[in-house]
Structure 1
Amino acid sequence: MTRIERLRPDPIPAVHPLPEYLATGQRADWYADTKRVLQVPWMGVVTMAYTHYPTFFGELWRGLKPLCESRPFVEACQDLRTHGEAITAELGPASLVGKLSEMGYAPREIDNIRQVNTVFSHGNQPYVIIAAIARHLLEVGDMAGEQKAEVFEGRHAPETQVPFLLMEPHHVDAPTRAVYADIEATLNLPFVNTDYRAFARWPSYFALAWADLAQIAGTPAHEAVCQTCHDRVAGLAADGLPNPGGLSSDSLRRAAEADGSLEEVIQMCRLFQWLLPGLITNVAYFRHQLEAV
């Protein structure tokens, strides 16, 4: 079956994510429901941007919700994470534990950073699959999976005790703003992802972690890992997952058209589906940096 290709839109389209602290009404309800179903503490920028197109997101979430609550979806997320972390290890991330200890970080503080990483290592997987499904339906056609899916019972999210805090650009001082700017420039991003804003809660750690990652980001080896992640989620969107919500290409395209320009929605979806495999790779790289030698 035809699958979506890894494609960075050029020019980068305008996106309109509304932060959680500004969301009201239907948007706030969608944010809360998405977080509840995915068992994550944050509304991804990808789905924030989707809700700017309410007819589109309403139809997408109507069909995705029963899938996201299914056992095949949860297991696909777990497999995606396991595989991604394994191949990212081949990039050879150096342990930062010794340097962090020398800087004064106590073992408990380093473990707190690991816990935040665990939240994103778990939560990014459903978002990247959602992005692939949206693109597949808009650009390729229907999903080929069967409609029946066993419901997942219980909790699959990690148990963490670290408060979930985000350092927004207006919260941070000049050195961290410079790191944010370097991330945007190096990764060709129009914004700083949630993950990076959470890690910036520990600015000295994050500057060190990013400086190490920046040396390999965008290299052929790094891009190969991103491509592998893309290929796996493209396969899941095409025929690797069931479709219990009865999503169809025609219905989603009509919903996007009802919000204005179909092409505008497609370009927005391409952007997020392109950047999320890179984000997953980078979070896995950060995770390996926190392993003791």
Structure 2
Amino acid sequence: MKRQLPKAIPAIHPLPEHLVDSQRLAWYQDMKAVLRMPSMGVVTMAFSHYPNFFAELWRGLRPVCASAPFNEALVRLQEHSDAQAATLAPSSLEAALGGLGYAPGEVDGIRAVLEAFHHSNQAYLLIATLARLLLEGGRFGDERNVAPPFYGEQATTQAAPAVLMEAHHADKPTRELYADIKTTLGVPFVNTEYRALARWPSYFSLAWGSLRPQLHSAPHEALCTALHEEALQLCRHFPNPEGLDAAGLKHAASQDAALAEVLEVSRLFQWLLPGLIINLAYFRAQL
């Protein structure tokens, strides 16, 4: 299964947490609890736009996400992405931020946001990979399919959802930076992570300016591909105690929309997340 950007970027319909109720609210709360996260990510909010698909996906993946193998995989992906991003030789921004007047506690606040997303995005990559794998007719699991529970702490240092700098909150330079992000990455939206980091506009302008020349370069693309392959191999060997399979997930998705539509949404996020993870690991290395 190769990393694949859809030829036409599909529309996505993530519904923010403050607008949900009933079943979707219950899903959001349960997923946050199982994944040990303070907020929902765009990928899972977009998946929940297809309720039958989401219900079947989460039915099967809930015990997987609560298992020791899944949480061990998160650590492995974190270590992998940190090591790989370091090969791009990111330059430190600490002196520049100090020169702008950033106090150590403010830099620690940026680090905390990066750390929270560093945890959550690995989980979303695994979920998106499993969804795409099954929608393309693949499978995962082993003969025993026993999912030993995870008892450790995969906590983030961020106890509450990040404050997001939405485009209508931002001044002209930040809106222009958002436009550059969309053009450079080739997507019609600005990821949650970048909007959270733009809470510190002068920092994020420096960080994005440093990263931008790396994007789409051969070394950067190679790192994204390697992370994709690592995630795929981990997913193939996860336990599957609920017997989640391609036929059941495709049937559920087809009750919500054309199967091709749901598949393209899964491909979009499964393509996007490796790059996002590498980019944030690059930012982490700068601090």
Flag whether TM exceeds 0.5 (same fold).
yes
Q: Does 2:155 correspond to 1:157?
A: yes
Q: For the residues of structure 1 that align with 2:141 and 2:148, how far apart are their CA atoms? A: 17
Q: For the residues of structure 2 that align with 1:209 and 1:13, how far apart are their CA atoms? A: 28
Question: Where do 1:1-293 residues align within 5 Å?
Answer: 4-145=1-142, 146-160=144-158, 164-237=162-235, 239-290=236-287
Name the SS for the 1:35 alignment partner: helix
Name the SS for the 1:72 alignment partner: helix
Higher mean C-alpha deviation, range 131-140 or range 144-153: 144-153
User: In 2, are the aligned partners of 1:81 and 1:125 still within 8 Å (CA)?
Assistant: yes
Report the Cα offset of residue 35 of structure 1: 1.1
- Amino acid aligned to 2:41: G
Q: For the residues of structure 2 that align with 1:83 and 1:46, how far apart are their CA atoms? A: 22
Cα distance 1:262–1:160, how it changes in 2: closer, same or farther (>3 A)? closer
1:136-184 Cα offsets, whole Å, 9 max, x none, are 0010322143410110114211334676211122221211111111111
Cα distance 1:163–1:191, how it changes in 2: closer, same or farther (>3 A)? closer
Gaps of 5+ in 2: none
Cα distance 1:151–1:242, how it changes in 2: closer, same or farther (>3 A)? same
User: In 2, are the aligned partners of 1:116 and 1:162 still within 8 Å (CA)?
Assistant: no
- Amino acid aligned to 2:25: A
Report the Cα offset of residue 29 of structure 1: 1.8
Q: For the residues of structure 2 that align with 1:272 and 1:208, how far apart are their CA atoms? A: 26
Q: For the residues of structure 2 that align with 1:40 and 1:98, how far apart are their CA atoms? A: 31
Q: For the residues of structure 2 that align with 1:124 and 1:141, how far apart are their CA atoms? A: 22
CA RMSD of aligned residues (A): 1.3
Name the SS for the 1:215 alignment partner: helix
Report the Cα offset of residue 19 of structure 1: 1.7
Count of residues in Structure 1 that have an aligned counterpart in Structure 2: 286
Report the Cα offset of residue 240 of structure 1: 2.3
1:64-88 Cα offsets, whole Å, 9 max, x none, are 0000000000000100110111011
> What's the TM-score once normalised by structure 2's chain length?
0.96
- Amino acid aligned to 2:222: A
Q: For the residues of structure 1 that align with 2:158 and 2:263, how far apart are their CA atoms? A: 36
Cα distance 1:162–1:258, how it changes in 2: closer, same or farther (>3 A)? closer
**Displacement over 3 Å in runs of 4+:** 159-163
User: In 1, are the aligned partners of 2:38 and 2:158 still within 8 Å (CA)?
Assistant: no
Q: For the residues of structure 2 that align with 1:119 and 1:217, how far apart are their CA atoms? A: 23
Identity of aligned residues (%): 53
Name the SS for the 1:170 alignment partner: coil
> What's the TM-score once normalised by structure 1's chain length?
0.94
Q: For the residues of structure 1 that align with 2:22 and 2:165, how far apart are their CA atoms? A: 25
